[in-house]
């Protein structure tokens, strides 16, 4: 039904079920990228000639669209980055360094683990990990214990985890962190494509966004920074465009947010085209997107459950678009090789979340991640391919 909006599906026969890795792009996003490069390619926030002014206006429009999209209070709270990985690295090195301890969950993506471990190496601040149950439920009692024992902490937690699609109750997590005066960042890489995000309602202090997981271009993302932290966050990458005055004797003074955080030439085409993906989502509406994904997930789950010896690690009710599983006595890598030959795109392995795989004592899983543009026939093709693969591997 929606595939017609995404040129990938007209050109590829692949049954695309790897939306957790990246999403397909609607024609409007592709058109905006082409328009920038073919009609007004110029740098932003520098030169004053006509095309450069158009580029700057389009770039700043994206900031306003994203601000409204996530209901940030001001456009100055939106800083463009290359994606969630850069957003987290930025906040880790420019703000997280102030804290004695960092609290994450055991289900985090490596992007929300390794930057903190690097800080631990250089600054010696601690990395504390909230337990989860065997069913992957966030352990609120343990979280509160960590907060109580470590009052000077910064918290960084995924909204939706990538390996299992597990949805965290982030409003409850944010409110608990704040009750111990700990600022908190939410990794929204997997959530913005499926959930209406209202950063004022969530009340998080930082919210990391990935363009390419939200039907937008690769190499673009953002970080929402609540205004009250603007002066406490240091510039991350420094250089041109972010400065007020540079003097060889007196040093440098910086512009205000967001510009002090956007040194150097940005991914201009990416930022400009990103707003088209947000407009696309708005046109379809989150209600429709969620309803469609729920229907697809129910069907996927009921069909998967008919397969022999399937092992799930969490309940369907907690999953957003992603189902992660294994088959007893079958290596997930073997399934991947066979499914690839049958034209089915899924991901197998640890999904950049090795700590949770270690906890579950597995090397990885088979991950099917859906988007609203998938249809029931994609799931039928997946299931028949899985049946063939299982019978080949069991023979």
Catalytic residues: 352
Q: From start to end of the chain, where are the E strands?
A: 15-16, 78-81, 101-105, 126-130, 153-158, 184-187, 206-210, 221-225, 243-247, 251-254, 310-312, 322-327, 344-345, 347-349, 365-369
Residue of 210, 214, 267, 326 that binds ligand PMP (CB under 6 A): 210
CA-CA distance, 244 to 259, in Å (whole number)?
10
Stretch that binds ligand PMP, among 54-62, 186-194, 266-274, 377-385 (CB under 6 A): 186-194
Taking CB under 6 A as the rule, does residue 109 contact ligand PMP? yes
Smallest separation, CB 272 to ligand PMP (Å): 18
Rg (CA), the chain: 22
Residue corresponding to tokens 């899985």: 386
Stretch that binds ligand PMP, among 54-62, 166-174, 184-192, 300-308 (CB under 6 A): 184-192
Smallest separation, CB 90 to ligand PMP (Å): 11
Taking CB under 6 A as the rule, does residue 189 contact ligand PMP? yes
Taking CB under 6 A as the rule, does residue 26 contact ligand PMP? no
CA-CA distance, 372 to 385, in Å (whole number)?
21
Taking CB under 6 A as the rule, does residue 217 contact ligand PMP? no
The CB-nearest residue to ligand PMP is 83
Smaller CB distance to ligand PMP: residue 84 or 356? 84
Smallest separation, CB 243 to ligand PMP (Å): 27
Taking CB under 6 A as the rule, does residue 162 contact ligand PMP? yes
Smaller CB distance to ligand PMP: residue 167 or 263? 167
Query: Which residues lie below 8 Å from residue 149, measured CB to CB, with a gap of 6+?
Result: none
Taking CB under 6 A as the rule, does residue 221 contact ligand PMP? yes
CA-CA distance, 361 to 154, in Å (whole number)?
29
Q: What are phi and psi of 18, to 5 degrees?
A: -125, 45
27-39 vs 268-284: helix axis angle to the nearest 10? 150
Smallest separation, CB 239 to ligand PMP (Å): 21
* C-alpha 144: how far from chain center: 25
Residues that bind ligand PMP (CB under 6 A): 83-85, 109, 111-112, 158, 162, 187, 189-190, 210, 221, 352
């Amino acid at each position: 039904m929606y595939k017609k909006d995404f040129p990938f599906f007209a050109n590829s026969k692949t049954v695309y079920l790897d939306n957790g890795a990246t999403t397909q792009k609607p024609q409007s996003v592709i058109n905006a990228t082409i328009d920038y490069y073919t009609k007004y390619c110029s740098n932003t926030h520098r030169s004053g000639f006509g095309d450069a002014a158009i580029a700057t206006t389009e770039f700043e429009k994206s900031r306003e669209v994203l601000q409204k999209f996530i209901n940030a209070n001001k456009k100055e709270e939106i800083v463009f980055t290359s994606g969630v990985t850069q957003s987290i690295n930025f906040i880790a090195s420019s703000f997280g360094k102030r804290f004695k301890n960092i609290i994450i969950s055991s289900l985090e993506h490596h992007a929300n683990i390794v930057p903190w471990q690097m800080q631990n190496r250089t600054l010696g601040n601690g990395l504390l990990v909230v337990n989860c149950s065997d069913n992957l439920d966030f352990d609120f009692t343990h979280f509160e214990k960590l907060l109580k024992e470590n009052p000077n902490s910064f918290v960084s937690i995924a909204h939706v985890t990538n390996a299992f699609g597990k949805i965290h109750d982030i409003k409850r997590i944010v409110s608990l962190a704040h009750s111990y005066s700990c600022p908190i960042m939410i990794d929204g890489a997997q959530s913005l494509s499926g959930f209406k995000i209202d950063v004022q309602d969530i009340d998080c202090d930082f919210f990391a966004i990935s363009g390419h997981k939200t039907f937008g271009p690769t190499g673009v993302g953002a970080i929402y920074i609540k205004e009250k932290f603007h002066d406490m966050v240091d510039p991350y990458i420094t250089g041109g465009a972010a400065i007020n005055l540079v003097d060889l004797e007196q040093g440098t003074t910086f512009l205000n947010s967001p510009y002090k955080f956007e040194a150097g030439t940005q991914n201009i085409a990416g930022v400009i085209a990103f707003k088209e993906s947000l407009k696309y989502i708005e046109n379809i509406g989150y209600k429709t997107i969620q309803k469609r994904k729920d229907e697809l997930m129910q069907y996927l789950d009921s069909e998967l459950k008919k397969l022999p010896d399937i092992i799930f690690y969490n309940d369907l009710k907690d999953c957003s678009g992603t189902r992660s599983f294994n088959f007893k006595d079958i290596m997930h890598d073997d399934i991947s090789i066979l499914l690839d030959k049958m034209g089915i795109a899924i991901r197998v392995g640890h999904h950049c979340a090795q700590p949770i795989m270690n906890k579950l004592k597995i090397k990885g899983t088979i991950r099917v991640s859906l988007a609203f543009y998938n249809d029931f026939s994609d799931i039928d093709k997946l299931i028949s391919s899985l049946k063939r693969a299982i019978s080949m591997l069991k023979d």
